[in-house]
Amino acid sequence: MKQRKKIRVKKEDFFTIPNILTYFRFLLVPVFMILYLYGFYYCRDSSISQKVFEWLGIASVILASLTDFIDGKIARKFNMITELGKAIDPLADKFMQLAIAVVVGITYFHYTSNWTMWVLIAVFVIKELSQFALIYITYYHGQYLNGAKWYGKISTFVFDVLMIACLMLPLFFNVEANKMIYNNWISVCSIIVICVLIFAWIMYILECRKLWRSGINNIPGNNSDNNKGGKDK
């Protein structure tokens, strides 16, 4: 039978510096949403107060990005890479991405009553959930995808750049006076992101299919790694 590596989370793994920084990034998700949306909905009588809260929300996104960079550096330099960290680090990134998309969707719908952003959010959620299911199925099959793939990195980069640009646009642009331009900009950005997400999604599925068809059992620590084709004995 194929022997899958058992993932063990040690008690001390919960208290490593990289993982604590990741917990902090999870906390920054609601902080960002509360600050930005509070400024957007409850400070509209004062443009200065509105922009202060919205900028504070964006600052929390920037802080999350910095801690993401720092915790990775610390984990690699001081050998603090853990199975728990491998699981929760990308999860924190996805929650922040989803939060950004939801906030952009809320503000965009407020100005234009356009549902394009909600289509993007639906594609994002379905993609991430299906990829999680694929990870489980692939692991159960005796295989795993080692490291981030180029198409995943491109997808993340395009998503982050365009969605953050959409988030910041109302801070530099009079949306009320130029709703048509704002609507066209958000719509184009949304369509680009949707296309890139679908492309990465398809590539991910093809990569998993390639692994399954190879029959190679590539899970580290598996005693059957050397079996030809990874077939059961």
Scored b (16 or more CB within 10 A) or e, 194-206 reads bebbeebbebbee
The pTM assigned to this predicted structure is 0.85
N-to-C CA span, the chain: 6
Domain boundaries, the chain: 11-230
CB 231 within 8 A of CB 215: yes
CA–CA dist 59, 163 (Å, integer):
15
Homologous superfamily assigned to 11-230: CDP-alcohol phosphotransferase transmembrane (TM) domain (1.20.120.1760)
pLDDT tens-digit profile, the chain (233 residues):
444 555 566 777 788 999 999 999 999 999 999 999 999 988 877 778 889 999 999 999 999 999 999 998 998 888 888 878 888 999 999 999 999 999 999 999 998 988 889 999 999 999 999 988 887 787 776 666 666 788 999 999 999 999 999 999 988 888 888 989 999 999 999 999 999 999 999 998 998 888 877 766 655 555 444 443 443 33
